[in-house]
Each structure stands twice: as structure tokens, then as C-alpha cells.
Amino acid sequence: VARNNFHGRTTTIISFSDDETARRGFGPYTPGFRPVPFGDAAAAADAVDERTVAILIEPIQGEAGIIVPPDDYLPRLRELCNQRNVLLIADEIQAGLARTGRTFACEHWGVVPDVYLLGKALGGGVVPLSAVVADSDVLGVLHPGEHGSTFGGNPLAAAVGSTVVSMLRRGEYQTRSTELGRHLHNRLRGLIGHGVVAVRGLGLWAGVDIDPALGTGKHLSMKLAERGVLVKDTQGATLRFAPPLVVTAEEIDWAVDQFADALADSRP
Ligand SMILES: Cc1ncc(COP(=O)(O)O)c(C=O)c1O
């Protein structure tokens, strides 16, 4: 697993989290995980031994601040997993389903993992739905009745998920995300030096580091909420812009204008 990951809040998952607010007071922790720096394929290779089952990563780390890895990272992990007979699991719960301009973020690097973890947009933003997707030689280890959940397989959520998959088949949202994402990133980069320190990300997904002199990310996200723009803060001084894929260029302009005004208002 990668350092600074975010894969959820169940006991096993928080066992390898670096986030003390998610870990503290919970447990006992599940042993056996080896956290190595995200983006460092050599460190991942060093951590693999004959007992390793899988490498689990977010292709672009979301909660960590929308961290895009070096271009050779995912291809090298894929090669490592092939050589050592280890599964590559891509958590695309935030990055997947057209958010970055491709159906899966892994496609930016031509990598197909063995397992995809999907959620969030899979439910169209209206119903809770998540999925573990893999070939039957992987998922076939589970048999009916061995695993389940009260809300798993909810018929309405499954119908919404199927519709989302059909909509993604058209490619329209991937194209929108690429083109409007370019616009969003250009506009946000225009604020560098005006309260913004750095802009990262791909498609309609941007991590924006703000000048700490203007206040915390939380403070700015609250100011933006008052102006009608919902942007989640993370890591103290980062804001995450993840507008719906149906957003228009005019709405992006309006939102970035609100952001510029909120930054100007926050100047000491
Ligand atoms: C990248 C990522 N992985 C996993 C999860 C956890 O998903 P769930 O809340 O369905 O356990 C989240 C939730 O925010 C997430 O963003």
C-alpha cells in the first residue's frame, strides 16, 4: 500500500492509514500491510516478497491532495505485479468513471489493473453504490453466500449503476472532462501568485494549494460554500475542485470567479 492513501474507514483499511483521525481509538489493527511512498516504484518492488498478495494504490491520490504520480509509476507497478505474480488493485473510487478524462485514471498510463474498486459516481451522485470489478479468475474465489451486506445489490442502486455504465460507453463525459478540465485548470492556474500556490490534477479534478497566509483550506471552503461553491478541503491547505461532469464552461468561470473573490477577501 502507498503512504498517505485513503481507502476508507473499516478496521482493516485504517490499519494501514497514515491519518491519525481515522485510526485513533479504533482497532485492533489488521497486520500484514507494508506502506511505501506513493510514486516510488522501486520502494514497492523492495516491499514485495513471496507472501505478497497484492499492491493496492489510488492511481491518483485523492485525499492526499490530488497527487498525480510520475509517468513511469503505474507501468512499473504493472510490470512488477506481472513478474512477481501479485495482483494490482486500483482504487478508482474518486479517480474513476470519467473524472480525469478517461473512463479509468489508469488509462492515462496504458495500465489495466487486476481489480478496480469503484464507487461514488457509480451511483450517479444520488444513490450509494460501490463495486469490486475483476475477471472471474480473481473474483471467482468468492462463492454465493460467502460475502454480503444489507445494502449490497440494492435493485434501485444497481439500476442507476447500469445506467451510469451505459452513459460512460458513449465517451461524451470523458471528452467533457478532458476539455472542460483544461479550462478549469487554465483558470485556476491564472490564480497562482494571487493566493494560489500550486494546481495539480487531471480532467475535471483539481487540487489547489492555497497560500497559508490566507487561512486554512477549511476556512476557504466555508467561504466558498457561502458563495454557493462546494469544494472540499484536505491536508490543511489544499482545496479539491471536483465539479459534476455536466458542468458548463460558464459555470466553471463563475465558480473560479467566486474563488478569486474569496481569496481576495481573505488577504490579511
Ligand atoms: C479513494 C477512496 N477509496 C475508498 C473510499 C471508501 O469508500 P467507502 O466509504 O465506500 O468505504 C473512499 C471514500 O471516500 C475514497 O475516496
Same-domain pairing of 146 and 206? no
* Ligand 1, CB within 6 Å, residue ranges: 6-8, 58, 62, 91, 93-94, 119, 130
Task: Classify residue 25: in a domain, yes or no.
Answer: yes
Residue 205 is predicted with a pLDDT of 98
| Residue 14: pLDDT over 90 | yes
Same-domain pairing of 35 and 130? yes
Same-domain pairing of 75 and 159? yes
C-alpha cell at 211: 497560500
Instruction: Work out how many domains the chain is built from and give that number.
Output: 2
Same-domain pairing of 199 and 250? yes
Q: Which of 136, 169, 202 is the last residue of a domain?
A: 169
Same-domain pairing of 72 and 165? yes
Residue 235 alpha carbon to ligand 1 centre in Å: 16
Question: How many whole angstroms separate alpha carbon 188 and alpha carbon 169?
Answer: 30
pLDDT per residue as tens digits for the range 173-194? 999 999 999 999 999 999 999 9
Residue 1 is predicted with a pLDDT of 98
Q: Which of 101, 136, 169 is the last residue of a domain?
A: 169
Task: Classify residue 2: in a domain, yes or no.
Answer: no
Residue 230 is predicted with a pLDDT of 97
User: Which residue segment(s) compose the domain that 36 sits in?
Assistant: 11-169
Residue 224 is predicted with a pLDDT of 98
Task: Classify residue 153: in a domain, yes or no.
Answer: yes
Which of 91, 114, 209, 233 is catalytic? The answer is: 91
Q: Which of 120, 140, 169 is the last residue of a domain?
A: 169
Which of 16, 120, 241, 259 is catalytic? The answer is: 120
pLDDT per residue as tens digits for the range 192-212? 999 999 999 999 999 999 999
Instruction: With beta carbons less than 8 A apart as the criterion, state whether 61 and 72 touch.
Output: no
Confidence at 225, pLDDT banded by 50, 70, 90: very high
Q: Is 6 a catalytic residue?
A: yes
Same-domain pairing of 149 and 238? no
| Residue 150: pLDDT over 90 | no
| Residue 93: pLDDT over 90 | yes
